[in-house]
Chain A
Amino acid sequence: MGKKTLVVENVGMKFNLSQEKVDDFKEYFIRLFKGNLKYNEFWALKDVSFTLEEGDRLGILGLNGAGKSTLLKVIAGVFKPTEGKVTRKGKVVPLLELGAGFDKNYTGRENIYLYGSLLGYSKQFLDKKYDEIVKFSGLGKFIDVPVKNYSSGMRSKLGFSIATIAEPEILILDEVLSVGDANFRKKSEKKIRDMMEGGTTVLFVSHSLPQVERICNKAMILEQGKIVAFGPVEEIAQVYTDMLDKDEDQEIMELKRERRQLLQKIRARREEIKEEKKKQEE
């Protein structure tokens, strides 16, 4: 049992869903006089509680609009939950929309410092890590070019390099494992894997079940803002496929279950082989 890095208690998040957004005076006063300022309330999250420990890798599954992104934003601290509490130990780094915090008139070099300090790294730390960031991003001489002239790939490469320069305690991923070209993707995947092995807690949102099964040890299914299931990834994967296949024929469902079990066996056997090889090498 590791130590708890993330505790989420009874979190609920309420939004006001007004038909049109009221953001000017005229609209506001008209509505005020009509007594029309009531909004439709909508709970994007309700009673969400779970605990993650050091080294846990949680996959968050759910259909569109289930509240996955909202949950990530609450954990990242961007949204303040309407009720409940989130306790985080250590630094949280969200790898969402990489490079969205860049100033486009700034050069890559200047953005390293701006974005770095936004993520809470000190100037001295960034000075020390500067070369490493530039090297990892592979931008070379482009580092002194304003970011507005970057391609979107270059931008996210730089964003990734800055965000992952220190090992955060909690890492938030949003299907981000596809940054830049093939080369960089390999590099970034390796970096994330290193972090996971180093004990970073990972939250991972994905629609792709195989990806979640590959990366995560725990999983959660969200439906209409509530946790439907939470537990070890093997169990949850089963529940999730059953959920998606609700309307399928009984026999097909049986076969799919068998296929899943076989796949799990294959994966387990592969791991064994890997272990054995390691031992032999030693």
Chain B
Amino acid sequence: MEHIKTFWRRRGLLWELVKKGIKLKYRRSYLGILWSFLEPLLTTVVLTIVFGTLLGRGGRDFPVYILCGRLLYSFFSTSTKAASKSIRQNSSMIKKVYVPKYLYPLSSILYNYIITGISLLTLVPLSIYCHVYPTVYMPLVIVPFILLFMLTYGASMILSTVTVFFRDMEYLWDVLLMIIMYTSAIFYYPEKLMNSGFFWILKYNPLYCIIMNFRYAMFGQPLDMQYVLIAAAYGIGLSVIGTYAFYKKQDEFILAI
């Protein structure tokens, strides 16, 4: 109860920090927020050429398939990276004034979430171009999108706690992220792996479950409930562990930064 009250009192600061993240991201660039549309669109073009045309894979809707995966993955990777650095980055503030420390990683996740939300609008013109039309399943994209937030929150809280004490975690996480990326089926179809005996690696990667469900909803299929459950289990589990670890260790942060 006490915590909720403090949170409510400090919502102004949380909002300021979120605003700062968004504002500073594109400051001094000519196209500004337009980059949120352009950047994913351009990378999709590159990936489509490389994996679709050169390697001869994918059909007409392949660009939409790639863009979904890439946007969700890059939200996960950018936010977790930003959150794990956030405590150290704001150390000058933390050393001076008492502020609930979870506001720093939380704001890094939130501003990236908002930017990703804006970037997702790129899907509209691209879907039209690729003849992917909305169905009744379309609104269900919200389910994996919310699960993605939980997963990212949990991972970020754990990472930001660990990184304060062990800076190596930043570099280790880069490597882990690469593994997560390749097992998330971002630019290939997972069907080929289905019977290979390695499929379980994909299946128990929560990010893969989230991305696939997002695509199912986009392409007019029902969600895979097993994937929803796996992602939710990870999301809730990591969030509980992350919040607990952060809460237990936050008073020692100041001694380590």
List the interface of chain A (C-beta within 8 A of B). 15-16, 21, 23-26, 28, 73, 76-80, 94, 96-97, 100-101, 103, 105-106, 110, 113-114, 117-120, 122-123
Contacts and interface: CB of A to CB of B under 8 A. Distances in A.
A122 B12 contact: yes
Given A76-B97, A120-B13, 19 more contacts: A23-B167, A24-B168, A25-B168, A25-B172, A73-B95, A78-B95, A78-B97, A100-B93, A101-B92, A101-B93, A106-B24, A110-B23, A113-B16, A114-B17, A117-B12, A117-B15, A118-B13, A119-B97, A120-B9
B97 A94 contact: yes
Contact of A117 (B16, B23, B95, B254): B16
A76 B98 contact: yes
Main secondary structure of the interface of B (DSSP, over half): helix
Nearest to A123: B12
Nearest to A81: B251
B256 A23 contact: yes
B156 to A, nearest CB: 20
B202 to A, nearest CB: 28
B165 interface: yes
Interface of B: 9-10, 12-13, 15-17, 20, 23-24, 27, 92-99, 165-168, 172, 251, 254-256
Contacts of B24: 103, 105-106
A44 B149 CA distance: 42
Given A23-B167, A118-B93, A103 B20 contact: yes
Contacts of A26: 168
Main secondary structure of the interface of A (DSSP, over half): loop
B12 A100 contact: no
Contacts of B20: 103, 106, 110, 114
Contact of B254 (A25, A78, A94, A105): A78
A78 B96 contact: yes
Nearest to A23: B167
A23 B254 contact: no
Most A-side CB within 10 Å, residue of B10, B97, B167 = B97
A118 B167 contact: no
B97 A24 contact: no
B118 to A, nearest CB: 21
A114 B16 contact: yes
Contacts of B168: 24-26
A16 B95 contact: no
A192 B96 CA distance: 20
7 contacts: A24-B168, A100-B92, A100-B93, A106-B24, A113-B16, A117-B12, A117-B16
